[in-house]
Amino acid sequence: MKKFVVGLVVLLVAAVVVFFTIVPVVVDSRMNTVVSTTIPAVSPQASALHRTLFVADLHADELLWGRDLLLRVDRGHVDLPRLQEAKVALQVFSAVTKTPRDMNYDRNTGETDNIALLALAQRWPGETRASLRARATYQAEKLQDAILRAGGAITLITSRDTLLAFAQRRGGDPMQVGALLAIEGLHALDGTLENVDVLFAHGYRMMGLTHFFDNEVAGSAHGVTHGGLTALGRQVVSRMEQLGIIVDLAHASTQTVQEVLAMATRPVVVSHTGVAAVCPGPRNLTDEQLRAIAANGGLIGIGYWDGAVCKPTVGNIVKAITHAVRVMGVQHVGLGSDFDGATETPWDTRGVIVITHALLEAGMSADDVSRVMGGNTLDFLLRTLPPATPTR
């Protein structure tokens, strides 16, 4: 009996060790993949141009995973060393707080919670088990801890002032990276308007209203109702605009997009998307929506994964970009990779130079390439971020 008990204890200890150390790595490795680890060669012209660009990416979910942002790893898509190697100037880091089981693009409810088990396996604080807001604040603190340990290599962008100062510093030091906090879905408010201010105080400056299911704020493109803004949602959008938080319409239903654009007094963003004319599907924007977002002064980020471009190739990414440019005008188009968003992409962030090369090969001028690769995002953020970082 004693041997049996000892054996059972050993098995339980082994199971706990596997759950907390191996399982998160395996899940991360299987969900965030690349078509190829080899970055294709680019032309000397593309290489020279890329070194001069302010490259910006509007969406990555690296904070969800149990990695140290400062360390290069052999899985996933984004970390500081790879961002520096890629000459990425600005990365938007988005917090994911809840996703449904069997997630799909057509119909999901919010009854199940994939993130709960992942958070437990990665040893997130106890309060994140019951509160989605706590999951968001934890991910913000995780980024801020990395910034403190980075020795000045990462700057948290919270205002026009911090962005301008960062851009000036980076002109003399291209190894510096700017980071902006975003949220994927305002179920992270836990149904309370006051939590907009709480998340703003934690550094969030871009907020997606919905993710893969309808919430207390708005209808999702992948939810059940496909409805628009709720009464709370209208209050939330108004409060976001008052604070200078950018409204992100990625994953929003058609009705939500229409209703937000009808009430918006500030430009909106669609941080990671495709275009329906190139890759049909509920995830991607129609030409009518593209024109409406351009009329609002907004910006879209073209993604790299199959849901955005059907097959994750640089050719398909360029097709989506060039179509959006023709419909909206070049000043409204940027990059929104969806790196580390449980996606397969052509390459990790080191491959962004291939887009520079491919856009030049497609006949885009160097000035327009500069805009799409990040210049538009820089201009957009300088127009839409609050003027100064508030004191806490």
DSSP 161-205: HHHHHHHHHHHH-TT-EEEEEEEE-GGGGTT-TTHHHHHHHTTEE
pLDDT in tens, 286-342: 999 999 999 999 999 999 999 999 999 999 999 999 999 999 999 999 999 999 999
Q: What is the domain-level CATH number for residue 304?
A: 3.20.20.140
Mean pLDDT of the chain: 95
pLDDT of residue 222: 97
The Cα–Cα gap between 331 and 382 comes to 14
pLDDT in tens, 46-95: 999 999 999 999 999 999 999 999 999 999 999 999 999 999 999 999 99
pLDDT of residue 174: 95
* 240 and 337 within one domain: yes
* 25 and 48 within one domain: no
pLDDT of residue 22: 83
pLDDT at 11 over 60: no
pLDDT at 369 over 80: yes
Residue 39 falls within a domain, yes or no?
A: no
pTM for the model stands at: 0.94
DSSP 301-345: EE--SHHHHSS--HHHHHHHHHHHHHHH-GGGEEE---BTSS-EE
Model confidence at 199, pLDDT cuts 50, 70, 90, reads: very high
Residue 37 falls within a domain, yes or no?
A: no
* 134 and 93 within one domain: yes
Beta bridge partners, 344, equal 33
pLDDT at 378 over 70: yes
Residue 138 falls within a domain, yes or no?
A: yes
Residue 35 falls within a domain, yes or no?
A: no
* 186 and 74 within one domain: yes
* 113 and 8 within one domain: no
pLDDT at 20 over 60: yes
DSSP 8-67: HHHHHHHHHHIIIIIHHHHHHHHHSEES-SSPPP--HHHHHHHTT--EEEEEE-GGGSS-
Residue 38 falls within a domain, yes or no?
A: no
* 242 and 94 within one domain: yes
pLDDT of residue 388: 86
Please return the burial class of 392, using the count of CB atoms within 10 Å of its CB with bins 0-12, 13-18 and 19+: exposed
The Cα–Cα gap between 82 and 70 comes to 10
* 313 and 247 within one domain: yes
Average pLDDT of the residues in 185-196: 98
pLDDT of residue 97: 98
Least confident of 19-28, 165-174, 251-260, 310-319: 19-28
Average pLDDT of the residues in 387-392: 71
* 1 and 146 within one domain: no
Give the amino acid at 246. I
Residue 391 falls within a domain, yes or no?
A: no
* 147 and 19 within one domain: no
For the chain, the domain total comes to 2
pLDDT of residue 4: 56
DSSP 70-116: TS--SSSS--HHHHHHTTEEEEEEEEE----TT--SS---SS--HHH
CA-based nearest residue to 65, from 38, 34, 25: 25
Average pLDDT of the residues in 170-185: 97
The Cα–Cα gap between 216 and 186 comes to 8
Please give the structure tokens belonging to residue 279: 């890759």
Residues 6 or more apart whose CB falls under 8 angstroms from that of 114 comprise 98, 99, 100, 101, 103
Share of the chain above pLDDT 90, in %: 92
The boundaries of the domain holding residue 362 are 44-384
Residue 36 falls within a domain, yes or no?
A: no
pLDDT in tens, 216-247: 999 999 999 999 999 999 999 999 999 999 99
Pairing of strands 333-335, 154-156: unpaired
The Cα–Cα gap between 207 and 186 comes to 7
Average pLDDT of the residues in 97-122: 95
pLDDT of residue 297: 98
What would you measure as the largest C-alpha separation in the chain, in angstroms? 77
Model confidence at 390, pLDDT cuts 50, 70, 90, reads: low
* 49 and 26 within one domain: no
* 12 and 121 within one domain: no
Residue 189 falls within a domain, yes or no?
A: yes
* 26 and 175 within one domain: no
Nearest-5° Cα angle at 299, 296 to 300 = 125
